[in-house]
Amino acid sequence: MKERVILHADINNFYASVECLHRPEIRNRPVVVGGDESLRHGIVLAKNYAAKATGIRTGETLWQARLKCPGLVVLPPNYPLYLRYARFARQIYADFTDRIEPFGLDEAWLDVSGGDGVLTADTIRERIRRELGVTASVGVSYNKIFAKLGSDIKKPDATTPVSRENYQTVAWPLPVEELLYVGRATRAKLRSYSIHTIGQLAAAPLSFLHGIFGKVGDVLHAFANGQDQSPVMRLNEEALIKSIGNSTTTPRDLTCDEEVKIILFVLCESVCARMREHGFLCRTVAVSIRDNTLFCFERQSKLQAPSHISGEIAGVAMQLFRQHHNWLKPIRSIGVRCSELLPANGPLQLTVFDDDARDKLAALDETVASLRKRFGHFCIQRASVSADRPLGSIDPKGDHVIHPVGFFRNGMLK
């Protein structure tokens, strides 16, 4: 078999670059794109190189960024504009291959096997610069993980190959957190075992990593050793959906059960609407809680019967919360996730106690969804939700339109 040729294209400082392209007067000033501080989403989403030079980091709060750079230009995100540029970039990629797997708005893997990867990467970079007015970095490798690593190594506007011949000298000396899906918690645990570089992770015994992380340890060992074999999906090719969820940072810290109940109903309505759109019921409900010290936990429970009824899901979510949260700290964010999905139109096991009450609740949810589609999300709300306008004003389904696509969506990691 011929060696695969995989590219990972990453548009440099995407949000900030697009904003500076459309606002010539700020191109030479430090610029960040940040979330809505009034909703406590005030973090740096993207920055230009002038802002980066002052020490500003993606993910830090806007007030911290302003301390580092008093003259900082802070812009709200303009997602429709970014989506348009993301489509333009994918049109360029489509001239080279039909295997294009987006990873968020600004990144994508391309399978260009059979061609010259470096030449193709250089051509793509030149076209993005000339046709879109922004720059991109492209990694070239024989697998997706090292291609992603290559695009991160040198920025801006660079092509970096990571091959079977050079990956040990290029990838292995890098800090272990440079490897995809080694986050802060995983990095801390690896460092506690004196694993600081990708090379040290690659050399660690597989049984040792499996003992610490389970299946994730197997995956990370394969990643570090260049053994990723996951395919690049075709553009618009739908992968099997494993779970559906929504989370939100609340407009204020929550201090009582009634406030939590409002947020859970808002989230469960969103999750259930998405399950209906995709034709699913769920068997399991999970609730994640993060307090104001950023301590977080997640608990889950099986349903008595598969469901996509918002009231049922919210009831189980609230029960989980009451069982596992002790109110030692106020709550900053909440998430609800439904898993063990199965087709809504498939056969279901009924019991002798089943009646038409659940069918009526499901029909009510459908009616609410239809009204919201015609007249807007806030045309109809539960009385308990509308009682607190700041908390009830969240629309997680409509507001959170940008969702990075998970690498493991193809079911590689279960």
- The residues assigned a catalytic role are 107
Cβ contact 35:47 at 8 Å = no
Identify the CA nearest to 79 among candidates 43, 106, 118: 106
* Cβ atoms within 10 Å, residue 369: 18
Indicate the residue type of 44: V
CA distance 296 to 293: 9
Radius of gyration of the chain, Cα coordinates, nearest whole angstrom: 23
Helix/strand/coil (H, E, C) string of the chain? CCCCCEEEEEECCHHHHHHHHHCHHHCCCCEEEECCHHHCCCEEEEECHHHHCCCCCCCCEHHHHHHHCCCCEEECCCHHHHHHHHHHHHHHHCCCCCCEEECCCCEEEEECCCCCHHHHHHHHHHHHHHHHCCCEEEEEECCHHHHHHHHHHCCCCCEEEECCCCHHHHCCCCEHHHCCCCCHHHHHHHHHCCCCEHHHHHHCCHHHHHHHHCHHHHHHHHHHCCCCCCCCCCCCCCCCCCEEEEEEEEEEEECCHHHHHHHHHHHHHHHHHHHHHHCEEEEEEEEEEEECCCCEEEEEEEEEEEECCHHHHHHHHHHHHHHHCCCCCCEEEEEEEEEEEEECCCCCCCCCCCCCHHHHHHHHHHHHHHHHHHHCHHHCCCHHHHCCHHHHCCCHHHHCCCCCCCHHHHCCCC
